[in-house]
Amino acid sequence: MFEVGKIYTVRMWEEGEEGGILADYDNCEVVEVLLPLVKFKQSSNEDVIVNTSSLAFVQATLATDEDDESAESA
């Protein structure tokens, strides 16, 4: 499912004052996988651990090679 070194866009459900919203986190590189926990390094260079069995986790989409190239050139 998740592969170390691959880049994903992670979609999470976040509570807000007027209900919840879907938030996308781009360019998240998988650092470690111990399902259901996955450690990602975000573009801000922060490590974040996501519990993929949590109701807050919606999906993770593997970035395409085209996405990777545009992120590296930015």
Q: What is the pLDDT of residues 6-65, one digit of tens each?
A: 999 999 999 988 889 999 999 999 999 999 999 999 989 999 999 999 999 999 999 986
pLDDT at 16: 81
Q: Where are the beta strands (DSSP E) in the chain?
A: 7-16, 19-34, 37-41, 47-51, 57-62
pLDDT at 38: 98
Return the amino acid letter for 64.
Answer: T
Residue 71 has pLDDT above 70, yes or no: no
Domain architecture of the chain: domains with CATH: 7-67 (2.30.30)
